Structure 1
């Protein structure tokens, strides 16, 4: 039996952040990176994805077999007399996958987009939420009583 005091969700997020950072550093040619922050709260998890300049209609959030996938597209229409001479903002399709642990309720996910940030909220299943454990004390007669919960 393995006991740990580390939250497995946080471990998984750290693993994925490290993987993305390594990919970003090793790709000198670049590629679109969808930056993400993850927050664990008592009753849910919040994932925030930076998607500036994205048409909200192009954003798609799906979950399948414990994998959350966020996809979005940024396009730019140029006029006949326009041509790009500098391109630092990535265009095209962006995709990010996050592996969700079993203690999250993937049936109750909701998402919202405001000010260039997509926020995905995933509730923690009831049995995985922190709770207080009652401490019982016994006396000499074998009787027990709760001292605090």
Structure 2
């Protein structure tokens, strides 16, 4: 059993709120093979994205170009991982949604119903529900 399938099986139902400095930052709610991850505070998303980028400080005339190339590689790797997870979720008839302040941003798995995002992701298991919110979160 894969880690994704194991997590879906473990999270039968319930709600967890994650706080930092007594301030709620993330809510995770599970029910009927559906998991919603709702970011309440934008800082947690930015911190997670920064950690995923694993920025290395470089100097020299080509450092800016190297930085942009690394960002593109990171985005491609992240999409590949996300695509694999989304397809696995669909295989086990499960859905994970990512929301920001209660507004759904991305849906992965069975309930994904992509339109234009299908062309960008190359899969029918990832739906971008709000491109505006997705861009807002990445800034």
TM-score, normalization by structure 1: 0.24
| Structure having the higher Rg | 1
The structure with more strand, counted as a fraction of residues: 1
Higher helix share: 2
Taking structure 2 as the reference length, the TM-score comes to 0.25
